[in-house]
Amino acid sequence: MTIDHPSRDGCKLADLTPDDLRNTIVRKEKLSPVLTLFEINAPLISRAVKPGQFVMVWTGEHGERIPLTVSDWNSEKGTVTLIFQEVGRGTIELGKLNEGDVIPSLSGPLGKPTEIDNYGNAVVIGGGVGTAIARPVAAALKKAGNYLITIIGAREKSLVILENEMRAFSDELIVTTDDGSYGRKGVVTDPLKELLSERKIDFVFAVGPMIMMKFVADTTKPYGVKTIVSLDPIMIDGTGMCGGCRVTVGGKTMFTCVDGPDFDGHQVDWEELGARKSFYFDQEQAQRKIALKG
């Protein structure tokens, strides 16, 4: 199937060269009313990206730069896959793009890759859209020889994503929903507590809402289990220039974009991070309303 590209005088994607296609959305899929998947032609990024790294997406002259962790990639096809939640003005406007549209700027891969090793019994936890970030990390941990347990959590059934993909390489998979509409009723720390009390867990990786990651770290700390979290503070340029993504880890100031996004969950100053993330809450809500009206 060929796709019209409105900004290219009616050209068909099949008629364009790889250079012409760069940053073009070649597939769009709505995973839920608020979760969107883009597969984007980005050959240079697809050949260099590793689990845990992200890209900066810029939608246009009046748009913001949005950091999105790469959920999947295909170096042979030259594509990367991004999954995002349409929650703020930037992501809502990004979600209005369609197959054949071009993203004006897509830079990356950025950040340090997740440290992959054969730890033994590894637990990977994805909360909501965080499951998209957890997917490549989980696959890499399994490939490294770990016994892999994955926990997927969401508010409700419609927000559970990538279950089949995660199940394909997991030794065990547990799904939880806050309202009990699918899988186990409860939060991701419920099965995590059971695992920690019943068997030896050597490594935990968690990504999702900040409060979820904090409680995961609080849960594993008494057991002394290495726990890595992938943080998402306010980020502007993704290169360490602005300082907007700074976070205190182990009493030291770190920059998420260049020192992370992965950090020791037991060392993160969660109270400070929460305060920084909520600093622009009122402005963000106002911009969200503008985007929804548009």
Angle, helices 210-220/270-277, rounded to nearest 10 degrees: 180
Residues 112, 259 contacting (CB under 8 angstroms): yes
Contacts of 204 (CB under 8 A, 6+ apart): 122, 123, 124, 125, 192, 216, 220, 225, 226, 227, 228, 265
Per-residue pLDDT of the chain (294 residues; tens, 9 = 90+): 223 344 444 445 455 555 557 889 999 999 988 899 999 999 999 999 999 999 999 877 767 788 999 999 999 999 999 999 887 778 888 899 999 999 988 999 999 999 999 999 999 999 999 999 999 999 999 999 999 999 999 999 999 999 999 999 999 999 999 999 999 999 999 999 999 999 999 999 999 999 999 999 999 999 999 999 999 877 777 677 777 788 999 999 999 889 999 999 999 999 998 887 665 445 555 444 455 556
Q: Compute and round to an integer the Cα radius of gyration of the chain.
A: 19
Q: Is 60 left (phi over 0), alpha (psi -120 to 50) or beta?
A: left
Q: Which residues is 150 bridged to in the sheet?
A: 124, 173
| Domains by residue range for the chain, with CATH | 6-110 (2.40.30.10), 121-274 (3.40.50.80)
pLDDT digits (tens, 9 = 90+) for 114-159: 999 999 999 999 999 999 999 999 999 999 999 999 999 999 999 9
94 — phi, psi (to 5°)? -60, -40
User: pTM of the prediction?
Assistant: 0.86
Q: Which residues is 121 bridged to in the sheet?
A: 147
